Amino acid sequence: MPRRLHLQLVEPATASPSPPRPRRALRWRALLSAALLTLFYLLPWLRWEGRQALLFDLPARRFDLFGLTLWPQDLGVLLGLLAVLATGLVLLTTLAGRVWCGYGCPQTLWSALFRRIERTTARHLRHPRLARAAKHAAWALVAAWTGITFVGLFTPIQDLVDARWPSAWSAWVTFWVLFYALATWGNAGFLREQVCIDLCPFARVCPSLCDADTPQVHYDARRGEPRGPRAPGQGAVMQRGRGLLDPVSANDYAFRAAHPALAGPMPRFPDDRLGDCVDCAACVQVCPMALDIRSGPHPDCIACGACVDACDAQMRASGFPTGLIGHASLNRTRQRPTRWLRPRTLTALATLLVLLGIGLHRL
């Protein structure tokens, strides 16, 4: 009888945690992605004074930028505009981290769109072959229209759509439409995070633009470790008096959990000594880069915040405070003051103001 009673007490403690529930914060990310994609697809259709508002007409050597017409002798203005955008990206990355990679990069946007198509077809079409065929058909349609839209920035989009393909399209137009369609299909459908890890030049430069004051996605190991499933209703570490671990012990537990083959298996802890991480792996499942942020800051993290939302959803489902995973600078995690104005941000800001001043003077 005592043995049976002991089993009844242990089994609930090792039960799997409840699955994460959706959180409202996920909606604005989806809305932002949809808005940026819609803006791209609508951009060639915008009109300005009877002409296409944005058109890089290479054969005519004329660039139309919302009423501003640039000719070959105005190449310096176009290069200056590119310099302003590049400097603004440097300043944004230094102040806010890789928000461009996580929210505005085309690779991120189209990969998320293709993933959504993949999940939708798999959910609504139970037959695997039918779902795969529908997925690739939808991918092909999106990729083809993406290629047409991109070429429409260099050739009047109305002429592309009104023409009877393929007889009215030139060989170069056909080539570039197919090229960008296949590039979209391959990058967003198959390569995905490998483009960011192996091909993107900005991903290689980005670590040099960040410092100890730049926000990054951070896992609070002092609160979350040691991780593990437990029965619901036991309270967070601050609610049941366990408190936060010291940094050395917390980092040691996080390292051992991330490298069991190297550090050996984790010891078994009673429920009242576990941290707030229930080890549901929701943060890993939603990461577009297939990273585990609990292993520590990673240079390939694009700071999209998907793991933050997934973890907050699980914390709410478990009755714990949110914020186990969040955005914080290295100095903030070490309880040091965070500086907004520092040499690299002042340099980037001064460069941006000088470029804007020169551009306004030229115009």
Counted residue by residue, the chain has a size of 363
Residue whose tokens read 């585990």: 292
Whether a cis peptide bond, with omega within 30° of 0, leads into 229 is: no
CA 81 → CA 52, 76, 85, 115, distances in Å? Answer: 20, 9, 6, 34
pLDDT at 9: 33
pLDDT given at position 164:
66
Q: Give me the mean pLDDT over the 271-299 stretch.
A: 92
∠ CA 328-344-340, nearest 5°, is 40
- At residue 1, the pLDDT reads 40
What are phi and psi for residue 219, nearest 5 degrees? -105, 125
Predicted structure pTM score: 0.84
Tokens representing residue 280 in the block = 């549901």
Q: Which of 252, 238, 256, 244 is nearest to 220 (CA)?
A: 244
pLDDT at 176: 95
Residue 57 burial class via C-beta count within 10 angstroms: exposed 0-12, middle 13-18, buried 19 and up? middle
Q: Amino acid letter at 238?
A: M
Question: Quick check: 102 pLDDT over 70?
Answer: yes
- With contact defined as beta carbons under 8 Å apart, do 291 and 298 qualify? yes
Q: Which pLDDT tens digit goes with each residue over 321-330?
A: 999 999 999 8
Produce one character per residue of 325-340: b if its CB has 16 or more CB atoms within 10 Å, e if not.
bbbbbbebbeeeeeee
Q: Which residue has the tokens 């955008």?
A: 85
pLDDT averaged over the chain? 88
Beta bridge partners of 55: 64
- Residues 8-43: tens digit of each pLDDT: 333 333 333 444 444 444 468 889 999 999 999 999
User: How would DSSP label each residue in 312-342?
Assistant: HHHHHHHT--S-SEEEE-HHHHTT----SS-
| CA dihedral angle for residue 173, residue 177, residue 178, residue 179, rounded to 10 degrees | 100
Angle at which helix 201-209 crosses helix 75-96, to 10 degrees, equals: 60
